[in-house]
């Protein structure tokens, strides 16, 4: 495919402004062709208008039609795997095998949402039958189900050029629920974004859908995204990225004349607790696996374990030695962008200046081999220091983590109580540990969206039960997830039909249940054909 | 019960500030004893603190325990029916039979939520089993369900002293989900609020729950409510009331350092369409029933039909005559507060000054018989005027409605397209009408939370399928309902357990399904005892 550098406004290519930017190869430090043209305010308006026009048409297509569309996008992604992975490799320096598996995951995610809307029960159909004999007043027939919100603005993330980007989870779930999508491409991988965007644009045409179902806008700064979230025709937003950007967009969404839901996933430091018996029996293994987890994707995962709480007990030295050895011998990592590398370096300098924080261990070789190279580094602080210094709980994006040495059980629990919101928390413990630290789980449940036992938070399974979300500041809205099939609920609202003629009801609510969905009928779950 | 005029801070009575206010009897114009003392900022802090302390304990009580508590409150409400109805009658001038039935509805609502949490499937339990053989990586065991958010601030509404007040739908759904509640009493019925609050306080003790599960705060102004919503320990809010107050509180909630969900139901004007054949065949009957609907509760229902769209076709004169006759002969109505009466009078004066709006008909007798008396009045405007004058779509709280005369079918559809968000829309039409106006339903679906066919929007059924919510400005969050069992979802968020030992899981997620709940297991709905 030929890259044009132009935004996609429905079926059209945009004209852009005078302003342009180029992709950058973090591996080689070279600037990439072609230029990408920043969308104009008129293009933002045009995308919103075409999207709004498409909404009632797209919203009325049955689940099977939306499923067909999602599967068409998935098939095109996999057909173009080589080209997509190569461009993404240039733009992100992420390894090709990882990118190929991310494309497979993205296609799988689209197909999973296809299966969910094909089946239909996701919309929580509910029926309460009429009772004309009820006193004092007859009871009407009441039916409700979830229906789409309207055009959704989606922001691509830097660290997952496929799975959290143009055709990623936000797009897949918003389209699945019946909403048109306008993606603001992440400027760290504009070429990858255009390639994927064109595949979606082609799928729209091939599925006979109105052109406004999908648009893609380019910008290297915040203007286009801000205009999009403030636009009166946009009804919701999905974002994965930094706290500062996510909170700024959330505030725009909440303070519009008409507030809209804005789902900002803003990162997390992800506490991990190693309890005494697990440390004694498996300290070395945990250290090695932990190293793999916090350096996965060069440590640029929102679920990276970034706070490691360990007690001073048997096995601690083995744990420390094994972790130290892995870090010392590690090669340098290539970060996604120069900005991320600068931010990593800045936090490293701050921590090195902080007299209460020690560098526990650092890669022996100087960062090299790429323009955005960075070393793995592990810091260490006392629990008492952690509890006083809020900056230590902040995310450090890159191959780094922080060990918190706790002297007593009570110190571990107190650290847990002081945590703010995170996406995940992890406990390594034997059955006896979990009994001894029984107070830990109820505390962590109030702090995070997912709790992992004897594993690692990186590697977010795409399935029905996954929750990739959590209390503020990890997300702007803890009531939702951005991974897993429950994510579709973010982009829908309940609509109720009272005494509606059967033929005018959506299939999910018709009396004889033609779609064979699971429904709550007069308070009982059933998928019976006839109520 | 003896009224003390003091806030309830957990198990304690507050001390209040120097400032106090009294209830007012709109029927007689008399000031009521005793004085109610405005809660101090320290009392707001104390209520939040005791609530936050109770949260992890109350959250860990199984659904059956919360159900027992809700049923205890319901039983106490019904035992105290006479005393409650009498005080509420004094404070609101609502008729005693209506108040008694509202108490029954409020108790029924508490019992309905009790049955929902007793059964347990509301929490959407999901299980995806592990697969240790999966390549390239083993699949972990992932389980998730909805869990409570934390302390919830609830604002009592003026127009439903029971069903949308201290023990109303917001309180019932928040408590059902496992959240402590702090109610800010509505100053229009402080005595009723204290009586109900004390019944809940007694139920907390009798059920052996931590005292912070419930608190009640008094204020006649906005300070206490604002402090409550801004308080860092409060995790969500529920509100029913005016647009101005709802939006102000929503903005506080969204702009806190940690934003929280705030569910503001801010009223609605509720369009009702009478299509030609229905008009021709049943014009007179519709007019009479419409009159009953828009004057129900003296027109102080959020679901009052306030915009009546009629085409110029056969039957219109009969419709007009019947409506005119009902209004002309109507006695005066007593509004809830002097402020509501003043606001009703002001809008009436504005409309009378508006040369594009006609007084279609008005009660013949002067308002009398009470301090807050107001006449029924129906206005009329052309569709072209309605489309240009946004003020005509605003809610006029009281026994009034506005007729919009439409010349052509296209004008009716265009009026529908120009609507903003409402709680409900109603269509009166025969099968042929609905066919001819097929475009109307898809438009209305995007504007409201509930669509009624050949009925009236007042009378909100409390059931599983009800949606009492809608797009902005009718609510601040269209994704939810404040009536019906789906309302419980407002106060919960999904929590995920990865590879969690079975014994540490909530009952809803344990492998052998001890609570016998409906779950999504590996993508299939089942309530099987063993997965």
pLDDT band at A531 (very low <50, low <70, confident <90, very high): low
Report, in this order, helix, strand and coil percent for chain A, each rounded to 5: 40, 20, 40
Q: CA A318 from chain center: how many Å?
A: 35
H-helix or E-strand spanning residue B32: strand B30-37
Cα–Cα distance measured from residue A125 to residue A146, given in angstroms and rounded to the nearest whole number: 7
* Rounded-to-integer distance, Cα B354 and Cα B363, Å: 20
> Whole-number mean pLDDT of chain A?
96
Give residue B488's pLDDT. 98
Please give the Cα distance from A293 to B54 (Å, whole number).
36
Q: Phi and psi dihedrals of A279, rounded to 5? A: -65, -45
State yes or no: pLDDT of A367 exceeds 90: no
Burial of B43 (0-12, 13-18, 19+ CB in 10 A): buried
At B370 the pLDDT is 82
Mark yes or no for CB contact A459/B137 under 8 Å.
yes
Taking alpha carbons only, the member of A6, A141, A116 closest to residue A66 is: A116
Tokens read off for A118: 């094909």
Beta bridge partners of B520: B126, B525
Q: How far apart are CA A426 and CA B496, in angstroms?
A: 12
3-class secondary structure, B322: helix
Q: Which residue's entry shows tokens 């369900």?
A: B145
Q: Chain B contact for A261, CB < 8 A?
A: yes
The residue-averaged pLDDT of A463-491 equals: 97
Q: What is the spatial distance between Cα B214 and Cα B73, in angstroms, rounded to a whole number?
A: 12
DSSP SS3 for A404 = strand
Cα–Cα distance for residue pair B442/B453, rounded to 1 Å: 14
Structure tokens at B465: 């399928």
Minimal CA separation from A259 to chain B, in Å: 7
Q: Would the CB atoms of A495 and B467 count as touching at under 8 Å?
A: yes
* DSSP per-residue codes, B63-82: HHHHHHHHHHHHHHHHHTHH
CA pair distance B336, B372, nearest whole angstrom: 7
Residues of chain B scoring pLDDT < 50:
none
Residues B74 and B61: their CA atoms lie apart, in Å, by 19
Task: Report DSSP state, residue A22.
Answer: E
Q: Do A258 and B523 touch (CB under 8 A)?
A: no
Q: Which residues 150-179 of A have a C-beta within 8 angstroms of B?
A: 150
What are the distances in angstroms from CA A411 to CA A290, A440, A445, B76, B186? 22, 11, 18, 45, 44
Q: How far is CA A313 from CA A291, A453, A456, in A?
A: 20, 20, 22
Nearest CA in chain A to B456: A498
Give the whole-angstrom CA distance, residue B37 versus residue B39: 6
* SS3 (DSSP) at A213: helix
Give CA B387 to chain center in angstroms.
29
DSSP-derived 3-state class of residue B407? coil
Q: From the CB of residue B243, how many other CB atoms can be counted at a distance below 10 Å?
A: 17
- Reply yes or no on whether B302 is catalytic: yes
Q: What is the DSSP string of A133-202?
A: T-SSSPBPPEEEEEEE-S-EEEE--SS-TTTTSTTSHHHHHHHHHT--EEEE--TTSHHHHHHHHHHHHH
- Chain B residues whose CB is inside 8 A of the A450 CB are 144, 495-498
B524 Cβ under 8 Å from any chain A Cβ: no
Q: Is the dihedral of CA B239, B244, B248, B250 positive or negative?
A: positive
Nearest CA in chain B to A487: B494
- Closest C-alpha to A58, from A264, A185, A193, A203: A203
Interface of A with B in 28-87 (CB under 8 A): 55-56, 59-60
Range B55-58 contact pairs with CB under 8 angstroms and sequence separation of 24 or more: B55/A446, B55/B148, B55/B150, B55/B151, B55/B179, B55/B180, B55/B212, B56/A442, B56/A443, B56/A446, B57/B209, B57/B210, B58/B148, B58/B178, B58/B179, B58/B180, B58/B209, B58/B210, B58/B212, B58/B213
Dist CA A195 CA A201 (whole Å): 10
* Cis upstream peptide for B200 (omega within 30°): no
Can you spell out the DSSP letters for B39-57? PPHHHHHHHHHHHHHHHHH
Euclidean distance between CA atoms B384 and B374, whole angstroms = 29
A145-169 mean pLDDT = 98
* CATH number listed for the domain at residues B10-266+481-490: 3.40.605.10
Pairwise CA distance, residues B69 & B520, whole Å: 28
A97 touching B (Cβ < 8 Å): no
- Note the pLDDT of residue B368: 78
Cα dihedral across residues B125, A101, A23, A267: positive or negative: positive
The pLDDT > 90 percentage for chain A reads: 95
Exposure string of B398-435, with b = 16+ CB inside 10 Å and e = fewer, is bbbbbbbbbeebebbbbbbeebbbbbbbbbbbbeebbe
Residues B263 and A419: their CA atoms lie apart, in Å, by: 27
Beta bridge partner(s), residue A262? A237
Contact (CB<8Å) A479/B494: yes
CA atoms within 13 A on the CB side of A412: 27
* Residue ranges of domains in chain A: 8-131+148-266+481-490, 271-453
- Size (chain A), residues: 531
For residue A117 the two structure tokens come to: 């809307």
Q: Which residues contact A142 (CB under 8 A, 6 or more apart)?
A: A127, A128, A496, A497, A498, B461, B463, B465, B466
CATH topology (fold) of B271-453: Aldehyde Dehydrogenase; Chain A, domain 2 (3.40.309)
Least Cα separation, residue A41 to chain B (angstroms): 25
Residue with tokens 């006479």: B82
The tens digit of pLDDT for each residue in A77-120 reads: 999 999 999 999 999 999 999 999 999 999 999 999 999 999 99
Interface size, chain A vs chain B, as Cβ–Cβ contacts under 8 Å: 217
| Rounded to 5°, angle at Cα A419 from A415 and A422 | 135
Strand partners, B380: B358, B403
Mean pLDDT (whole number) for A248-272? 97
What was the ipTM of the complex prediction? 0.97
* Nearest CB to B498; choose among A452, A518, A527: A452
Cis omega (within 30 of 0) for bond into B208:
no
Of B214, B206, B217, the residue nearest B76 (C-alpha): B206
- The H or E element that residue A361 is part of is strand A357-362
The answer to whether B196 and B230 are in contact (CB under 8 A) is: no
Q: Of B43, B91, B194, B265, which residue is the catalytic one?
A: B265
Q: Please state the rounded mean pLDDT for residues A197-225.
A: 98
Average pLDDT over residues A46-60: 97
Contact B221, B243 (CB under 8 A): no
Instruction: Provide the pLDDT for residue B531.
Output: 58
Topology classification of domain A8-131+148-266+481-490: Aldehyde Dehydrogenase; Chain A, domain 1 (3.40.605)
Give the closest-approach CA distance of B38 to chain A in angstroms: 30
Locate B182 and state its tokens.
């702090």
What is the chain B residue with the closest CA to A505? Answer: B441
Q: How far is the C-alpha of B224 from the C-alpha of B101, rounded, in Å?
A: 31
How close, in Å, is residue B67 to chain A by CA atoms?
16
Strands A31-37 and A20-24: antiparallel
């Amino acid at each position: 495919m030929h890259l044009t550098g132009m935004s996609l406004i429905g079926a059209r290519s945009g004209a852009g402004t005078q302003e342009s930017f180029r992709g950058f190869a973090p591996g080689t430090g070279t600037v990439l062709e072609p230029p990408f043209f920043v969308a104009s305010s008129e293009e933002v308006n045009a995308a919103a208008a075409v999207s709004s026009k498409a909404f009632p048409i797209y919203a009325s297509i049955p689940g099977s039609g939306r499923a067909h569309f999602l599967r068409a996008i998935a098939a095109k992604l996999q057909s173009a795997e080589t080209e997509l992975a190569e461009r993404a490799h240039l733009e992100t320096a992420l390894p090709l095998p990882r990118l190929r598996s991310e494309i497979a995951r993205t296609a799988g995610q689209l197909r999973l949402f296809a299966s969910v809307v094909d089946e239909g029960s996701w919309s929580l159909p509910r029926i309460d039958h009429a009772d004309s004999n009820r006193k004092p007043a007859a009871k009407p027939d009441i039916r409700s189900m979830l229906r789409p919100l309207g055009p959704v603005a989606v922001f691509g993330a830097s660290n997952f050029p496929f799975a959290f980007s143009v055709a990623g989870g936000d797009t897949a779930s918003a389209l699945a629920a019946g909403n048109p999508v306008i993606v603001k491409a992440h400027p760290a991988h504009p070429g990858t974004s255009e390639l994927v965007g064109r595949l979606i644009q082609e799928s729209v045409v091939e599925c006979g859908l109105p052109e406004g179902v999908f648009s893609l806008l380019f910008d290297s700064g915040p203007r286009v995204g801000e205009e999009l979230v403030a636009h009166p025709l946009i009804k919701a937003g999905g974002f994965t990225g930094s706290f500062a950007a996510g909170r700024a967009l959330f505030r725009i969404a909440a303070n519009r004349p008409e507030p809209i839901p804005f789902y900002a996933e803003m990162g997390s430091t992800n506490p991990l607790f190693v309890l005494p018996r697990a440390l004694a029996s498996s300290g070395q293994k945990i250290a090695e696996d932990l190293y793999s987890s916090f350096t996965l994707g060069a440590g640029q995962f929102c679920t990276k374990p970034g706070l490691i709480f360990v007690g001073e007990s048997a096995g601690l030295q083995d744990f420390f030695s094994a972790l130290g050895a892995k870090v010392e011998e590690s090669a340098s990592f290539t970060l996604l962008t120069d900005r991320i590398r600068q931010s990593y370096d800045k936090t490293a300098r701050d921590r090195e200046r902080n007299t209460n924080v020690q560098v526990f261990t650092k890669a022996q070789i100087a960062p090299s081999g790429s323009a955005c190279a960075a070393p793995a580094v592990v810091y260490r602080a006392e629990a008492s220091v952690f509890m006083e210094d809020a900056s230590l709980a902040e995310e450090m994006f890159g191959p780094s983590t922080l060990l918190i040495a706790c002297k007593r059980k009570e110190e571990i629990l107190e650290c847990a109580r002081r945590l703010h919101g995170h996406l995940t928390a992890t406990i390594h413990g034997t059955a006896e540990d979990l009994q001894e630290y029984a107070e830990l789980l109820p505390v962590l449940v109030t702090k995070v969206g997912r709790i992992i036992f004897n594993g690692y938070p990186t590697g977010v399974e795409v399935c029905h039960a996954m929750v990739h979300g959590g209390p503020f500041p990890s997300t702007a809205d803890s009531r939702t997830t951005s991974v897993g099939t429950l994510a579709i609920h973010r982009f829908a609202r309940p609509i109720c039909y009272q005494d509606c003629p059967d033929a005018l009801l959506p299939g999910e609510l018709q009396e004889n249940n033609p779609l064979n969905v699971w429904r709550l009928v007069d308070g009982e779950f059933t998928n019976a054909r006839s109520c």
